[in-house]
Structures are given as structure tokens and as C-alpha cells.
Structure 1
Amino acid sequence: MSGPLQWRPVLPSASTVTAAGFSAEAPEAALDALFLPFESGGLRWPADGRVLFLRARDGQRLRGVAGRGWLCQQSFRPFAGALERGGLRVGEPGADERFPLVLLLPPRQRDEARALYARALRHAEADGVVLACVPNAEGAKSAEADLARLAGPVRSLSKHKCRAFWVALASATVDRGLLDAWRALDAPRENAAGYFSRPGLFAWDRIDPASALLAEHLPDDLRGRVADPGAGYGYLAAQVVARCPQVEAVDLYEAEARALEPARLNLARAVHAAGRAVEVDVRWHDVTAGLPRRYDAIACNPPFHQGRADLPELGRAFIAAMAAALVPRGRLYLVANRHLPYEATLAARFGEVRTLALRDGFKLIAAGSVRA
């Protein structure tokens, strides 16, 4: 590969993706390390400028090198929005689309990461390069070993406590059987509780105990249209269908696009089991941007962290969005870790706030009488 990129000017960046506190702070250390092989001369940019960046994250470092031939893939809606606002082309590659260079920032969950390596190889040209970067604290050595296991010997460089590692496919020895097996890791599958899920989703292989607590206390007199913001693979919404026979419609909102297919499968199964017509809508959506409909009730286990960092302002932003979406006599049922300081936010938005249950470090709160 040879030839320069068409350079894009660096644009100013926002410090947050949403008012909720999803960090839009670019992973500049990881991006710096990712591009180190080009700075050191170990790699050259594709002559035609075509690059696929899987799980791309916005940042000045990225916007300084990305050209018109780049395609940035990102399944988490707030991060995708940050890339779009940075002037980058965001989307999904076609099934048969191939690139001379595929970049990726592998996730922490190992099966999810292995499926992403397999996807990267599928979208790389036969003589292309696959380049990944992982922080040392997030398992860089294991991640590098996985790519080597799949495609043969890799080269690597380290910077800023991150490791960049890559394979040139022209000389690679790809294990085709392992490639197929790892590609299949991302397919929706039933977890131990019998719900469709996939690796990397929140509580993907089980029922989250906080959500289970909320489900147990769902009143059977809920009616009309109900929302489940931050729905994940759809457990709570499925429980609403099963336990609340007067509910006519359920809307699921989830920022992680990988959760949408399992959620649709779980809701279709729940509606069939209920034996009645229930309208279901599953949307890829950042809840902190507001909800597009009004609801008679909302059941929610809101996210409160990004990675390992607690972001209680994220839950508070969910509360604000949900209060704005409820009809005047609407009801909110919210479950959260006991230590999270949501009471003041709830009291400011609702005339009635009650703690229904405390268990295993979680609190279940019911709120009504929305304040104008």
C-alpha cells in the first residue's frame, strides 16, 4: 500500500455527547496508539484512501487523518452521533464490501471482541491489513493473542499504556474454521434465563437482579401505552406484556443497536405467549435526547455508568426525559442501585415519590403526579 491520505482539517469537538453525561471524550490515548504504526513507518495508508473503522470513536486525532474514503461503524447511538457531528461518514459496510485497511477498537467482552475480529477479516481485502488497539488495562495482551490465534503472527507497538497490533492478510494464515466459529459468536442466542441476547449487552447472559425486582412489582393495572427506556435485550418490556394484561402498546428505546434484534425476538415471543394483540416498537435511540411519544406508564432500569465509571447524571437525565414523556396521570417505575442520588431529581419532577422495595443493594421507586 502506498500514497497519502486526503487530509481533513481538525474541527472543534464537544466534551459530551449528550446532556446525560455519556462521555464524548475521545479515547485519545487509544487513537494515538492506533495510528502509531503509520507514524513509525510500519504501515502505509491505502493508496485509494478507503478505510473501514469498526467501533470508531470520535476525536481530534481521528478527524485529523480521516478522509472521504473512510467509513466509521459505531453501534452505540451517542458515540455514532459524535462521529457524525465531527463530519465523519458513519454507517454499516455492505455484506460484500471490502477495504484495504480495517481499523478496530475491540470491546472488553471477549466473545464480542472475537466476533469483531472475524468481522474485520471478512471486510478486509485479500492483501489488506487489520489493525486493532486495546488499552493495557483492558486486556491488550489477550486481545493481541486472540487476533494471532485467528490470523497468524501479528506485529505490535505500544504507546500511552495501549497496544496497537496488526496482521497483513497477504502473508496471514487465517484459521477458517475458527473464523466461522467466531463470526457465529455475535448471533442472538438464548441465555440461561431463556431470553435472546448476545455477548457484550448489559447482563447479556442472565436476568439482571435489579430488573427482576422491578418486574416482580409491576402492577397488573397498568394500561395503555408503556415505554421501556434503556431496554437492553427487552426483558422488562417482555415482563410488562406478560404481567399487565391491559397494556396495549410497548415501546422499547435502546442506544446499543446490537440489542435491537434480540429485543424484537423476545417481544415477539412475549406477545405470542400472552395471546393478545400488543403493539411493539423497538427503536435505536438516545433517551437523553427525549422521547417522541407520551406514555401512560414507564418501567425503567436506567444505565448509570459508561465502562467502569459511574455517571449518576446519566440516570438523572433519563428521569428528566421520562417525566417529560408521561401523561399528567402517568406513572414511573424505576429501579436503581441503592447509593445513586436520584431522590432530589424525582421530587423535583413528581408530586408523589414512594420507595416500593429495597433488596440486594437496589431500590425500586414509584413516582406519579408529574409536575408541569
Structure 2
Amino acid sequence: MSDPALDALMLPFADRRLAWPGAGALFLRAREGAALHAHAPRAALVCEQSFRPEYDALQRAGFSVRADGDDAFPLVLVLPPRQRDEARALLAEALARTSPGGTVVASMPNDAGARSGQADFEAQLGPASVLSKHKCRVFWATTAGADAGLAADWRALDAPRPILDGRWTSRPGVFAWDRIDPASALLAAQLPATLSGHGADLGAGWGFLSDQVLSRCPAVTALDVVEAERRALDCAHVNLQAHAERVALDFLWHDVTAGLPARYDFIVTNPPFHALRGEPRPELGRAFIAAAADALRPGGALWLVANRQLPYEEMFDARFASARLVAQQGGFKVVEAVRGR
């Protein structure tokens, strides 16, 4: 798929306004794409990415990739997200990971906050050089004029924090980070207390649905908490510790669409239907359903919530012995699908 922000990020290198340093470069929230292959020397680039599908794509493409780090580089590239606190913290992280006198380069789509992103960038690093193309902005500056105090304050903006009267821990940028998503709340309200055995929560986010399963279903003996965004999974780990003495918990940083590593008695999920960059991807939900069908034991049940208009019924008909509509409310539907024996 096209990636205009990545294309724009490579512009200063494509037209030789910037050069790759011999000591290497760091790419925060890195994404694989044609522009990266065309303009970034693989041997000189270290990629960091906390979203497992993008991490896996970079690894398959032969780039050096890891989830995080703390070392510094003379050049740091970054693709800030839309959520402003998270983006400010990431820009501050980029500055902290840049060697003295080094350069930070950032790119954002115009419709995802490029103007405010540039303002935040310049608040930390001073006046930036700017190019606009692909309906995006790329801006860069050296660390010579950086405001280290502001960067230190902003670096903590996406730290895990208490939400909802302190009952939960979450952080800016993860899905529904400061609230209970209404679709997940609807599914939780419909779950039967009879769920038992070894289950999984696919796309678990910061752990709300997992907590509801473990709180309401005393016969559950093990639960795999499966989430592609490591920043969310870290929060789920904190939020579910109260259940750890009674139930065997496993926290899997994993891309569900690649299949599941175990067999389950039941699965719950509120699958995504947008990709990392916000574009609609209804095939993601279908991939979650297929993965669940493959991983359920005979007679096992999938409990799923989705937007009412999403056409998942053909997947249920093809992959399950039976499926029933359990509830509809607020534009969402809850479905129970049972795998044949």
C-alpha cells in the first residue's frame, strides 16, 4: 500500500538536501515501504517499531528492527502519530536519541496534524527546514537550538497513567486509551458466565475485555492476552495482575492475522477495522475471524463485537457450524459463532 508520509520523509535524502551519516541512523515508528528501500541504506539504519505487523514487515524486508532502545544516533527519523500527546512525546524521544549536533527529521500527513506537528517540532528544536509533497509535510533541524527542558517535560506525555478514577492504567495513543470503548462494553455485557477453560482475547488493547472475562467467568483457567501494539500490551499486563494468582495469563505481542500459536476453548474479540494509518481495512476483521476459527477447539465459541454494517456473516457461514446474533445496540452487533464438532 502507498505510504505518503514515508515518501515525504525520504524527500530530503532523495534530492540530496540531507545525507546518511556513516555512523548510522535511527528510525522511530519505522515502516517498511518502497521509499525506504529506494533511499535508506539498510546496513546504516536501525528501526524501532512497537506495532507487531509493521515490525514483522521490516524484519522480512531485511532491516534491523527492535521494539525499543536507548542509544543515540547522529540522524533520527520519525513518523509521529495523530494523537498529540503521543506525538509530542515521540518527538521528545527523537531529540533525546539524537547525538549532539545531529539531525531530527519528521514527516506527517496534512490531514493528521502536520501543521501542529511542525509547530511542536519547532518548539523543541527551533526553526525547521520544510518540504511539502504527497499531501504531507517533512521538517528537519539539528539539535543546536533545542529546548532540552521542554523536551524533558514532553517525553513523559505518553507514559502509562491511571484512568477512569484510577481503576485502570492506560496511555495516550492506544485504542480508546482514556475510556471504555462502547463496542467492548456491549460485548462484555453479553458474555456468559459459563465461559471456561483456556481462552484468548484477540486485539486485547489495554485489557478491558480480558478483565471482564476473568471477573465474570470463574471456570476460566487460562487466558492468552493477544495484542499487536506493545505499548497497549504493557498496560494490559498491569491491569490484569489482580487475576494472576487464580488464572494462568500469557501476554502475547503478536499479529493475529498471521495465525495463532495455541488452541482455545473460547475466544473474545473486538477486532480492528482500520489500519495503523487510519485507512479502512474491513479485511482485518475477517482475518481475525479466520484466525479464531482455526484456533478454536471443536465446539469452541467465538464472541465478537463489530460495527453493525461490517459484512462478516459470510465468514461465519463458511468457517463455523453455527452463528447467532446476540445483541445490537448503538451501531454495534454481538455475534456468537460455534465451531463444529
Q: Does 1:185 align with 2:157?
A: yes
Which range moves more in the overlay, 300-309 or 103-112?
300-309
Does 354-363 or 74-83 show the bigger shift? 74-83
Match of 2:267 in 1: 298
- Unmatched tracts of structure 2, length 5 or more: none
Deviating more after overlay: 227-236 vs 144-153: 144-153
Counterpart in the other structure of 1:227? 200
Query: Contact conserved, 1:132 with 1:164, CA < 8 A, in 2?
Result: yes
What is the rounded CA distance, in whole Å, between the counterparts of 1:39 and 1:339 in structure 2? 43
Aligned to 1:117: 91
SS of the residue 1:324 aligns to: helix
Query: 1:44 & 1:309 partners in 2: Cα distance?
Result: 32
**Unmatched 5+ stretches in structure 1:** 1-24
Percent identity reads: 54
* Structure 2 Cα separation of the partners of residues 200 and 348 of structure 1: 35
Write the distance in 1 (CA, Å) between the matches of 2:67 and 2:207. Answer: 23
Q: Secondary structure at the match of 1:127?
A: strand
The 2-side partners of 1:45 and 1:87 are apart by: 18
> In 2 relative to 1, CA 167–312 (structure 1 residues): closer, same or farther, beyond 3 Å?
same
188-197 vs 325-334, greater mean Cα deviation: 188-197
- Report the residue type matching 1:182 in the other structure: W
Three-state SS of the structure 1 residue aligned to 2:77 is strand
Say whether 1:64 aligns with 2:17: no
Q: Report if aligned partners of 1:252, 1:283 keep a CA contact under 8 Å in 2.
A: yes
Matched, 1:247 2:220: yes
- Per the TM alignment, residue 105 of structure 1 is displaced from its structure 2 partner at its CA by 0.8
Counterpart of 1:132?
106
SS of the residue corresponding to residue 221 of structure 1 reads: coil
TM-score of the superposed pair, with normalisation by structure 1: 0.87
Question: Aligned-pair distance for 1:94?
Answer: 3.3
**Letter paired with 1:293:** A
How do residues 1-372 of structure 1 correspond to structure 2 at under 5 angstroms? 25-27=1-3, 29-48=4-23, 50-67=24-41, 68-92=43-67, 94-95=69-70, 97-169=71-143, 171-176=144-149, 178-192=150-164, 194-269=167-242, 271=243, 277-306=246-275, 307-368=277-338, 370-371=339-340
Q: Is the 8 A contact 1:26 1:57 kept in 2?
A: no
Provide the C-alpha distance between the structure 2 equivalents of 1:94 and 1:76, rounded to a whole number of angstroms: 15
For residues 47-85 of structure 1, what are the alpha-carbon distances to aligned partners after superposition, in whole Å with 9 as ceiling and x for unaligned?
33x000111111122112322121011111111111112
Measured at CA, do residues 63 and 356 of structure 1 come closer, stay the same or move farther in structure 2, by a change above 3 Å? same
Note closer, same or farther for the CA distance 1:81–1:26 as it changes in structure 2 (3 Å cut).
farther
What is the Cα deviation at residue 340 of structure 1?
A: 0.6
User: Which letter maps to 1:315?
Assistant: G
Structure 1 Cα separation of the partners of residues 331 and 141 of structure 2: 45
Q: Confirm or deny: 8 A CA contact 1:71 1:93 kept in the other structure.
A: no
Secondary structure at the counterpart of residue 226 of structure 1: strand
The structure-2 alpha-carbon separation of the partners of 1:308 and 1:249, relative to structure 1 and needing over 3 Å to count, comes to same
CA contact (8 A) 1:127 1:168 kept: yes
| Cα distance change, pair 189–172 in 1 and its aligned pair in 2 (3 A) | same
Q: 1:115 to 1:212 in 2, by over 3 A?
A: same
Going from structure 1 to structure 2, the CA distance change for 1:39 and 1:365 (only over 3 Å counts) comes to closer
Pair 1:84–1:205, CA change in 2 (3 A): same
- Alpha-carbon contact 2:50-2:68 (below 8 Å) kept: no
Q: Alignment length, in residue pairs?
A: 338
1:328–1:253 CA distance, 2 compared to 1 (3 A): same
Q: Tell me if the contact between 2:263 and 2:295 (Cα under 8 Å) persists in the aligned partners.
A: yes
Change (3 A) 1:71 1:325: same
Q: 8 Å contact 1:26–1:58 — kept in the other structure?
A: no
